[in-house]
A = this chain, B = another copy of it.
Amino acid sequence: MSQLRNVKILGTGKFLPKKKVTSYELDHLLGLNNGWVEQKSGVSLRSFVENETASEMAALASIDAINASNLHKEDIDCIVSVSGTMEQPIPCNASLVQKQLGLNNSKIPCFDINSTCLSFVTGFDTISYLVHSGRYKNVLLVSSEIASVGLNWKNKENAILFGDGAAAAVISKTPDTENSKILAGHMETFSDGAHFTEIRGGGTKLHPNHPTANETDFLFDMNGKSVFKLSSKNIVSYMEKLLSLSNCTINDIDLVVPHQASGMAMRILRNKLGIDEAKFMNIIHNHGNTIASSIPMALHEAIVQNKIQRGNKVMLIGTSAGLSIGGVVFEY
A3 at the interface (CB under 8 A from B): yes
A35: which B residues are within 8 A, CB to CB?
none
A311: which B residues are within 8 A, CB to CB?
none
A228: which B residues are within 8 A, CB to CB?
none
> Known contacts A88-B198, A92-B115, A95-B321: does B205 contact A53 (CB below 8 Å)?
yes
B186, B192, B194: which contacts A91 (Cβ < 8 A)?
Answer: B194
Q: Which of A98, A188, A206, A322 has the most CB of B within 10 A?
A: A322
A146 at the interface (CB under 8 A from B): yes
Tell me how far the C-beta of A127 lies from the nearest C-beta in chain B, rounded to whole angstroms. Answer: 8
Extra 10 A-B pairs, beta carbons < 8 Å, given A86-B203, A88-B200, A110-B189: A54-B204, A54-B205, A84-B90, A88-B202, A95-B323, A98-B189, A113-B113, A145-B204, A149-B209, A209-B218
Please report A residues at the B interface, Cβ cutoff 8 Å: 1, 3, 53-54, 79, 84-92, 94-96, 98-99, 103-105, 107-116, 118-119, 122, 126-127, 129-130, 133-135, 145-146, 149-150, 186-192, 194, 197-210, 213, 215, 218-220, 234, 320-324, 326
What are 23 A-to-B residue pairs whose CB atoms are below 8 Å?
A85-B203, A86-B204, A87-B204, A88-B202, A89-B199, A89-B201, A89-B203, A90-B116, A90-B220, A94-B115, A95-B191, A96-B194, A103-B191, A109-B189, A110-B187, A112-B113, A129-B129, A133-B133, A149-B210, A150-B207, A208-B208, A208-B218, A209-B215
